[in-house]
Amino acid sequence: MAEIRLENLSKSFNGHDVIRDVSLKVADGEFCVFVGPSGCGKSTLLRLIAGLEEATSGKVLISGEDVTRLEPYDRQLAMVFQSYALYPHMSVRDNIAFALRTARMREDRISAKVAEAARILRLESYLDRKPAALSGGQRQRVAIGRAIVREPRAFLFDEPLSNLDAALRTDTRVEIAALHRSLNATTIYVTHDQTEAMTLADRIVVLKDGRVMQTGSPEELYKKPSSVFVAQFLGSPKMNILDASVDADAIRIEAQGAIPTSARLPTQACKLGLRPEALSIVEPGRSVLGGTVLFSEYHGATRMVVVDIGLNRQLTLQLPEHQRVTPGENIGLSVSQDTLHLFSEDGSTRLV
């Protein structure tokens, strides 16, 4: 397997910058997820690594070797796409074997490799079927099988679960995680789905407008997002953000109470970030924040409650299922000190 390094990689299409000066390292054996909203350049970045797009500037290195000018085949990476791109007239067996036949591998070796991939992916009883006779999840497993037999230096996945329905998406996600544990292969996985990023990644790279916003483990990014963008992109329901100001001893929110702080920041306007699960209900009048319940959604183990706190501001709370509230009810909210996030007024940097 291999380490992948990007050095100041940029790509523009017709003068339009799509990837802007991206530098990062994916360690040998690491499961790295590129996540960001649609159009932020995730696929382009993956295609630059695969060699399917030519870099405008910068370098791609695999295990220290500069592959920036190498053809895709010579980079020895395997890519799995959202559309499975299977050959419809070929059996599962022949689909998985295709690249090996093209490379003129001996038939007995091909059989052994196909059998091994089918075992890992639990496709043994489907080897003689055509893709049309498989479920979406099974088709995606065939596409992964085709990648595995090539013994690539790394696996590249581009939104592999997007064509699957919700239940199958969760199952296949768990399978991809298990596959990574057993193969221990360097993997780059692209998705717009924060849940996939949080659950699969050793390390997440958050992208926006072709730039890296932040990299870190799922926990690091969840607990210490470096910008309002990352804070709101990771986590569901998303983090509440309020306009506030901070001075030496308190965070002040207009027409609400003050939250004491020991951060000793210079006086300034700021954005206050509160995760929905960091807010809890207390007696009205004895609290820092308060408002009127707009609605409450039952989610089984939790309830999601939206509260109007005046001046056109709403807060989303995630409460344990047993805490019932009624629309129209006045409630107080308390905030635990160690779970609040403070950002600069423009949201671009983290203060605390």
Ligand X SMILES: Nc1ncnc2c1ncn2[C@@H]1O[C@H](COP(=O)(O)OP(=O)(O)O)[C@@H](O)[C@H]1O
Q: Which residues would be at the binding site for ligand X (CB under 6 A)?
A: 13, 18, 36, 38-44
State the first-to-last Cα distance of the chain, in angstroms, to the nearest integer: 39
* Distance of closest approach, residue 42 Cβ to Mg ion, in angstroms: 5
Selection from ligand X, Mg ion, none that 44 binds (CB < 5 to 8 A by kind) is ligand X
Q: Output 186 or 191, the one with its CB closest to ligand X.
A: 191
Selection from Mg ion, ligand X, none that 38 binds (CB < 5 to 8 A by kind) is ligand X
Binding to Mg ion by residue 138, rule CB under 5 A?
Answer: no
Provide the strand spans (E) within 159-194: 187-191
* Distance of closest approach, residue 38 Cβ to ligand X, in angstroms: 4
Selection from Mg ion, ligand X, none that 41 binds (CB < 5 to 8 A by kind) is ligand X
Provide the strand spans (E) within the chain: 4-13, 16-26, 31-35, 57-62, 65-66, 77-80, 154-158, 187-191, 203-208, 211-216, 240-246, 250-252, 258-260, 268-274, 279-282, 289-298, 302-308, 314-320, 330-335, 340-344
Q: How many CB atoms lie within 10 A of CB 69?
A: 11
Q: Output 16 or 106, the one with its CB closest to ligand X.
A: 16
Binding to Mg ion by residue 82, rule CB under 5 A?
Answer: no
Distances (CA, A) of 187 to 138, 152, 176, 184, 287: 20, 10, 10, 9, 47
Q: Output 11 or 146, the one with its CB closest to ligand X.
A: 11
Binding to Mg ion by residue 227, rule CB under 5 A?
Answer: no
- The size of the interface with Mg ion (CB under 5 A), counted in residues, is 1
**Stretch 14-43: interaction string toward Mg ion, x if CB under 5 A:** -----------------------------x
- Closest to 288 measured CA to CA, from 316, 257, 260, 246: 257
Selection from Mg ion, ligand X, none that 187 binds (CB < 5 to 8 A by kind) is none
Selection from ligand X, Mg ion, none that 39 binds (CB < 5 to 8 A by kind) is ligand X
Length of the chain: 352
Q: Output 68 or 191, the one with its CB closest to ligand X.
A: 191
- Closest to 273 measured CA to CA, from 237, 319, 326: 237
Provide the strand spans (E) within 36-73: 57-62, 65-66
Q: What is the H or E stretch that residue 223 is in?
A: helix 218-223
* Distance of closest approach, residue 247 Cβ to Mg ion, in angstroms: 44
**Stretch 40-59: interaction string toward Mg ion, x if CB under 5 A:** ---x----------------
Give the footprint of Mg ion on this chain (CB under 5 A): 43
